[in-house]
Amino acid sequence: MSEDLVEKAYESIELAKTTGKLKKGVNEVTKAIERGTAKLVVFAGDINPKEIVMHLPMLCKEKEIPCVEIPSKDDLGAAAGLMVSTTAVAVLQSGEAKKNISEIAKDQGLEK
């Protein structure tokens, strides 16, 4: 996982938090992926047990949604504007994060 990609993911969430729309938590994120409404999915790599988030990259690949694993659930929660850590965040409306999200998609070979 490149440092640049992780930074872009955090930045996308922070921008979308103020100018777009987010879903937080693994259940909400899973629903957003299945409905095809997620533009970007970011999940934490320090989740125990891993099974909680293991399905997210596969679902995202199937639906051609960019998906980024970041190191810390605490940092993910903070980026999403929460006072608590969170396992996963989906960006539903990108707002000002649109450019970042399309760069992440491009990095992952998911040209939209």
Tens of pLDDT along the chain (112 residues) come to: 688 999 999 999 999 999 999 999 999 999 999 999 999 999 999 999 999 999 999 999 999 999 999 999 999 999 999 999 999 999 999 999 999 999 999 999 986 5
Rounded distance between C-alpha atoms, residue 25 and residue 40, angstroms: 14
Domains held by the chain: number: 1
CATH number at residue 8: 3.30.1330.30
Domain that holds residue 46: 3-107
Task: Decide if 112 is inside a domain.
Answer: no
DSSP string, 21-43: EEEESHHHHHHHHHHT--SEEEE
Task: Decide if 102 is inside a domain.
Answer: yes
* pTM, entire model: 0.95
**Nearest-CA neighbor of 43 among 35, 34, 55?**
55
Cis peptide before 49, with omega less than 30 degrees from 0? yes
The amino acid that residue 91 corresponds to is V
